[in-house]
């Protein structure tokens, strides 16, 4: 990508003059600007027409009064390349390239895209193959099609690789009004990191939402995300493509656990970026971040006049890692004095209908409920959609409830949220009313609680030290010439970095008895060599050998099995058997094209395929991150002493993972895969032992 300063992109996004190049598409974009009330210069460019959308046309770029701050190019791809070069040569602030038929259509299109990149030089270019952008604060649209939204003074911005999704999001009915909407298309010249950097220069941007299909420059995005965190501008990402289409069959278990999408999760978590899985959650999270004060914690309570709603929120709260602690004794006494004795004082709080329509009584009850130590208050509220004079008085009683909640919020200062069970039951006028009084309107139970939990996690991330991961220094293609390091030498290499391995050694059949005697019985016997990657399948491993005679018989058996498989064993590994294991982990490294060597920790042994319970971490990592990762696994219950059993040696397990991480960093440019399975967890204080290991690296 070009070396473009974010300040230069700012000129493009807030233009005082815009050139519109082309016919109908350019004319549509001019109309969008006029409809918004754009106050800058509009200069249509067309070689044959005298006017466009009522404005005088210039015959060419050379005829323009001066270099425009921005240009919208709505012509075919061949002419677009020419015009981009002309704009760059006169010092234009940047342009939007609408045309398709570039890199998105394959090799031929990529040739055109390379020409476009060369023509742009260091001039900012949005696209190609995109709608463009809208600036709702300067009221300009380099964008031809209809869009929603109102002019704003501040708020979240949106970066989207899909123009149509961006357009639809502007028409949301969730009170999310964007400052900027940018459809990035092919990102030939500028990528996500460039757009984030530019938006961070505008103090009016409170949060950044993103619809992402992929990143061309992960490192640049990561650096921009760190800047956003430092500035206090949250980033919320909906990244599609969770299936790992490029997953390839490899010789280790670890690769079955890894994939780029899991690494994106690891990256976002590390950078404090909020990942969402739906457009609704993208909008609700952006709204909460934009309109709520910083969140205090995960202890919430809810108010409702229905037991059904109370039961629903009670079920959802633990799914989003929130909790609903009881009211204090003082609050319970106060509330009992304000309500009939048949009302149960609990959290969630069904205050019943006894005070319905009595705004003063509701205010008192809500204020008492909001005066405790909870971190946030949720009023469950669904506005009736029934209209007409005959029901106006009844509908007014719903508004009384909102006013009582607003009054209690102002009296107590607790962060306050109104949430409807389904999104349609909180109309725009009420959302605006609530926001104007400092109350956040959220739409849909599940999405609302997700948004709160995600925002809370973001604020908590700000309190932690965040560092960039390490990214690949060299690209290693799928056709790389690789080298398999057998189990013994893999273990020896990792032992140098602090990994504990069983006592034992390697030898020929005649040397096995001596090695076994030194290791101590019982022992395990294995064939070793790069061809023995799946020993159990080949009959190349035998356990629980109690004397030299057993070892000799086992060697004969392995020789027979491997000879039948066409790879007769000549070298053997003898190791002492590990007894007393409480749990097993798999520790692995899998190399990703974008992220480089990535660390995988999961449930080991036969559980690898059975439960596929794993966590991915980017390198370098820390002991605290590794500890959190292990504790997130289901096998953590065994390590922690399940049902009164002995605890496993968690600290030694962390040591083992860190040893692997340090090995990976030391072999960063050549390590392809690494597999330790299982790592056997012994009782607390007794350590861990790597029972099997495999390293694959480039030659």
Q: What is the dihedral of CA 391, 348, 360, 396, to 10 degrees?
A: -10
* pLDDT exceeds cutoff 50 at 197: yes
- Regarding whether 58 and 39 lie in a shared domain, the answer is yes
- Regarding whether 172 and 49 lie in a shared domain, the answer is yes
Task: Look at residue 329 in the predicted model and tell me its pLDDT.
Answer: 96
pLDDT band at 675 (very low <50, low <70, confident <90, very high): very high
* pLDDT exceeds cutoff 70 at 276: yes
Read off the pLDDT of each residue in 44-54 and give the average, rounded to a whole number: 96
- Regarding whether 351 and 278 lie in a shared domain, the answer is no
Which residues have CB under 8 Å from 344's CB, separation 6+? 350
- Regarding whether 263 and 211 lie in a shared domain, the answer is yes
Task: Look at residue 251 in the predicted model and tell me its pLDDT.
Answer: 38
Measured in degrees and rounded to the nearest 5, phi and psi for residue 124 equal -60, 135
Which residues have CB under 8 Å from 443's CB, separation 6+? 174, 280, 284, 419, 420, 422, 423, 426
> Could you tell me if 192 and 221 are in contact, meaning their C-beta atoms sit under 8 angstroms apart?
yes
In angstroms and rounded to an integer, the radius of gyration of the C-alpha atoms of the chain is: 32
Q: Which two tokens stand for residue 157?
A: 């911005």
* pLDDT exceeds cutoff 80 at 492: yes
- Regarding whether 663 and 566 lie in a shared domain, the answer is no
* pLDDT exceeds cutoff 80 at 3: no
Q: Indicate whether 494 belongs to any domain.
A: no
Q: What CA–CA distance (Å, rounded) separates 678 from 675?
A: 9
Instruction: Tell me how far the alpha carbon of residue 13 is from its chain's centroid.
Output: 27
Task: Look at residue 394 in the predicted model and tell me its pLDDT.
Answer: 85
Instruction: Tell me how far the alpha carbon of residue 57 is from its chain's centroid.
Output: 46
> Could you tell me if 503 and 576 are in contact, meaning their C-beta atoms sit under 8 angstroms apart?
yes
Task: Look at residue 7 in the predicted model and tell me its pLDDT.
Answer: 78
| pLDDT tens, residue by residue, 155-182 | 999 999 999 999 999 999 999 999 999 9
Task: Look at residue 245 in the predicted model and tell me its pLDDT.
Answer: 45
Q: Indicate whether 478 belongs to any domain.
A: no
pLDDT band at 259 (very low <50, low <70, confident <90, very high): low
Q: What is the full DSSP assignment across 192-232?
A: HHHHHHHHHT-TTEEEEEEEES--S-HHHHHHHHHHHHHHT
Q: How many helices and strands, by DSSP H and E, does the chain display?
A: 24, 30
Task: Look at residue 612 in the predicted model and tell me its pLDDT.
Answer: 67
pLDDT band at 535 (very low <50, low <70, confident <90, very high): confident
Helix axes 548-564, 512-519, angle to 10 degrees: 130
Q: What CA–CA distance (Å, rounded) separates 512 from 525?
A: 9
Q: Indicate whether 115 belongs to any domain.
A: yes
Q: What CA–CA distance (Å, rounded) separates 152 from 155?
A: 7
From the number of C-beta atoms within 10 Å of its C-beta (0-12, 13-18, 19+), residue 391 rates as: exposed
- The pTM (predicted TM-score) of the whole model is 0.91
- Regarding whether 644 and 536 lie in a shared domain, the answer is no
Read off the pLDDT of each residue in 665-686 and give the average, rounded to a whole number: 96
* pLDDT exceeds cutoff 60 at 244: no
- Regarding whether 60 and 34 lie in a shared domain, the answer is yes
Q: Which two tokens stand for residue 560?
A: 């027979």
pLDDT band at 610 (very low <50, low <70, confident <90, very high): low
β-pairing, 274-276 vs 300-304, is unpaired
Task: Look at residue 83 in the predicted model and tell me its pLDDT.
Answer: 98
* pLDDT exceeds cutoff 90 at 312: yes
* pLDDT exceeds cutoff 70 at 253: no
**Which segment of 135-139, 350-354, 399-403, 507-511 scores lowest on mean pLDDT?**
350-354
Q: Indicate whether 471 belongs to any domain.
A: no
Q: Which residues pair with 442 in a beta bridge?
A: 419
Q: Indicate whether 138 belongs to any domain.
A: yes
Last residue of a domain, one of 234, 261, 289: 289
With tokens 């946030």, the residue in question is: 376
Q: What CA–CA distance (Å, rounded) separates 38 from 32?
A: 9
638: CATH: 3.30.470.20
Mean pLDDT of the chain: 93
Task: Look at residue 476 in the predicted model and tell me its pLDDT.
Answer: 81
- Regarding whether 123 and 91 lie in a shared domain, the answer is yes
Q: What is the full DSSP assignment across 70-114?
A: EEEEES-HHHHHHHHHHHHHHT---EEE----SGGG-HHHHHHHH
Q: Indicate whether 531 belongs to any domain.
A: yes
* pLDDT exceeds cutoff 50 at 307: yes
Biggest distance spanned by C-alpha atoms of the chain: 101
Task: Look at residue 593 in the predicted model and tell me its pLDDT.
Answer: 87
Task: Look at residue 214 in the predicted model and tell me its pLDDT.
Answer: 87
Read off the pLDDT of each residue in 207-230 and give the average, rounded to a whole number: 94
Percent of the chain with pLDDT over 70: 96
* pLDDT exceeds cutoff 60 at 82: yes
| pLDDT tens, residue by residue, 314-350 | 999 999 999 999 999 999 999 999 999 999 999 999 9
534: CATH: 3.30.1490.20
Q: Which two tokens stand for residue 312?
A: 């629903």
| pLDDT tens, residue by residue, 449-473 | 999 999 999 988 887 878 899 998 8
The count of residues in the chain is 699
Q: Which two tokens stand for residue 383?
A: 């506005």
CA distances from 414 to 36, 251, 303, 407, 450 (A): 38, 55, 14, 11, 19
| pLDDT tens, residue by residue, 145-160 | 999 999 999 999 999 9
- Regarding whether 427 and 338 lie in a shared domain, the answer is yes
With tokens 């009330």, the residue in question is: 37
Q: Which residues pair with 302 in a beta bridge?
A: 378
Residue 380, CB half-sphere, CA atoms under 13 Å: how many?
A: 27
| pLDDT tens, residue by residue, 502-528 | 999 999 999 999 999 999 999 999 999
pLDDT band at 135 (very low <50, low <70, confident <90, very high): very high
Last residue of a domain, one of 552, 576, 600: 576
Last residue of a domain, one of 400, 428, 461: 461
Q: Indicate whether 473 belongs to any domain.
A: no
Question: Which residues form the domain of 70?
Answer: 6-243+251-289
Q: Indicate whether 113 belongs to any domain.
A: yes
CA distances from 505 to 6, 553, 572 (A): 59, 18, 8
DSSP state for residue 489 in the 8-state scheme: H
Task: Work out the number of other CB atoms within 10 angstroms of the CB of residue 158.
Answer: 28
* pLDDT exceeds cutoff 90 at 411: yes
Q: Which two tokens stand for residue 31?
A: 């109309």
Q: Which residues pair with 45 in a beta bridge?
A: 21, 58
237: CATH: 3.40.50.261
- Regarding whether 267 and 201 lie in a shared domain, the answer is yes
* pLDDT exceeds cutoff 90 at 477: no
* pLDDT exceeds cutoff 90 at 425: yes
> Could you tell me if 168 and 174 are in contact, meaning their C-beta atoms sit under 8 angstroms apart?
no
Read off the pLDDT of each residue in 674-692 and give the average, rounded to a whole number: 96
* pLDDT exceeds cutoff 50 at 203: yes
CA distances from 108 to 1, 105, 114, 115 (A): 19, 7, 10, 11
**Number of domains within the chain:** 4
- Regarding whether 70 and 214 lie in a shared domain, the answer is yes
Helix (H) or strand (E) segment spanning residue 589: strand 583-592
Task: Look at residue 249 in the predicted model and tell me its pLDDT.
Answer: 33
Task: Look at residue 480 in the predicted model and tell me its pLDDT.
Answer: 83
CA distances from 540 to 180, 561, 577, 675, 688 (A): 63, 7, 16, 18, 24
- Of 249, 193, 209, residue with least CA distance to 6: 193
- Regarding whether 437 and 521 lie in a shared domain, the answer is no
Q: What CA–CA distance (Å, rounded) separates 662 from 654?
A: 12
β-pairing, 482-485 vs 440-443, is unpaired
β-pairing, 416-420 vs 482-485, is unpaired
């Amino acid at each position: 990508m070009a070396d473009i300063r974010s300040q230069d992109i700012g000129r493009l996004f807030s233009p005082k003059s815009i050139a519109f190049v082309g016919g109908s598409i350019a004319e549509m974009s001019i109309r969008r600007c006029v409809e918004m009330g754009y106050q800058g210069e509009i200069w249509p460019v067309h070689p044959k027409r005298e006017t466009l959308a009522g404005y005088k046309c210039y015959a060419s770029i050379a005829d323009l009064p001066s270099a425009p701050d921005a240009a919208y190019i709505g012509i075919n791809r061949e002419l677009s390349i020419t015009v981009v070069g002309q704009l760059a040569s006169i010092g234009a602030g940047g342009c939007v390239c609408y045309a398709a038929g570039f890199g998105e259509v394959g090799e031929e299109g990529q040739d055109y895209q390379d020409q476009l990149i060369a023509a742009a030089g260091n001039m900012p270019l949005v696209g190609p193959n995109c709608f463009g952008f809208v600036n709702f604060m300067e009221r300009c649209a380099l964008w031809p099609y209809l869009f929603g939204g109102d002019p704003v003074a501040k708020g979240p911005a949106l970066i989207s690789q899909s123009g149509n999704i961006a357009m639809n999001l502007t028409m949301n009915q969730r009170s999310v009004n964007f400052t900027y909407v940018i459809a990035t298309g092919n990102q030939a010249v500028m990528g996500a990191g460039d757009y984030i950097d530019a938006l961070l220069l505008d103090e009016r941007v409170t949060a950044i939402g993103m619809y992402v299909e992929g990143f061309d420059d992960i490192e640049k995005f990561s650096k921009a995300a760190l800047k956003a965190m430092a500035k206090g501008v949250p980033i919320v990402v909906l990244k599609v493509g969770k299936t790992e289409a490029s997953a390839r069959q490899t010789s280790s278990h670890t690769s079955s656990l890894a994939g780029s999408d899991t690494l994106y999760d690891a990256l976002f978590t590390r950078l404090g970026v909020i990942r969402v899985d739906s457009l609704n959650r993208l909008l609700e999270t952006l709204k909460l971040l934009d309109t709520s004060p910083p969140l205090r914690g995960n202890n919430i309570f809810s108010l409702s006049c229905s037991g059904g709603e109370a039961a629903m929120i009670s079920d959802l709260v633990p799914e989003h890692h929130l909790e609903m602690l009881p009211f204090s004794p003082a609050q319970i006494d106060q509330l009992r004095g304000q309500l009939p004795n048949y009302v149960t004082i609990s959290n969630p709080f069904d205050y019943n209908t006894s005070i319905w329509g009595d705004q003063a009584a509701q205010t008192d009850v809500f204020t008492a409920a909001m005066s405790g130590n909870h971190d946030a208050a949720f009023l469950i509220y669904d506005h009736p959609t029934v209209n007409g004079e005959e029901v106006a008085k009844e509908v007014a009683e719903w508004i009384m409830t909102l006013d009582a909640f607003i009054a209690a919020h102002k009296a107590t200062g607790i962060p306050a949220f109104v949430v409807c069970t389904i999104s349609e039951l909180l109309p725009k006028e009420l959302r605006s009313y609530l926001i104007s009084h400092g109350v956040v309107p959220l739409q849909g139970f599940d999405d609302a609680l997700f948004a709160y939990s995600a925002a809370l996690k973001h604020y908590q991330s700000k309190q932690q030290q965040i560092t960039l991961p390490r990214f690949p220094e060299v690209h290693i293609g799928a056709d790389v010439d690789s080298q398999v390091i057998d189990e013994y030498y893999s273990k020896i290499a990792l032992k140098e970095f602090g990994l504990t391995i069983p006592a034992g050694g390697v030898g020929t059949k005649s040397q096995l008895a001596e090695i076994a005697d030194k290791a101590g019985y019982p022992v395990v016997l294995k064939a070793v060599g790069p061809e023995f990657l799946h020993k159990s399948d080949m009959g190349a491993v035998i356990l629980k050998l109690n004397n030299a005679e057993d070892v000799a018989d086992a060697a004969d058996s392995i020789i027979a099995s491997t000879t039948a498989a066409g790879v007769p064993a000549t070298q053997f590994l003898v190791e002492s058997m590990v007894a007393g294991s409480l749990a097993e982990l798999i520790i692995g490294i899998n190399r990703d094209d974008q992220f480089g060597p990535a660390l995988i920790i999961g449930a080991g042994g036969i559980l690898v395929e059975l439960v596929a319970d794993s966590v991915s971490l980017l390198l370098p990592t820390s002991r605290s991150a590794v500890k959190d990762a292990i504790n997130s696994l289901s096998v953590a219950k065994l390590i922690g002493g399940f049902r009164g059993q002995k605890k496993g040696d968690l600290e030694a397990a962390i040591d083992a993972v860190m040893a692997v991480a340090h090995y990976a960093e030391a072999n960063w440019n050549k390590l392809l895969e690494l597999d330790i399975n299982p790592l056997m967890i012994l009782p607390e204080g007794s350590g861990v032992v790597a029972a099997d290991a495999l390293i694959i690296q480039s030659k």
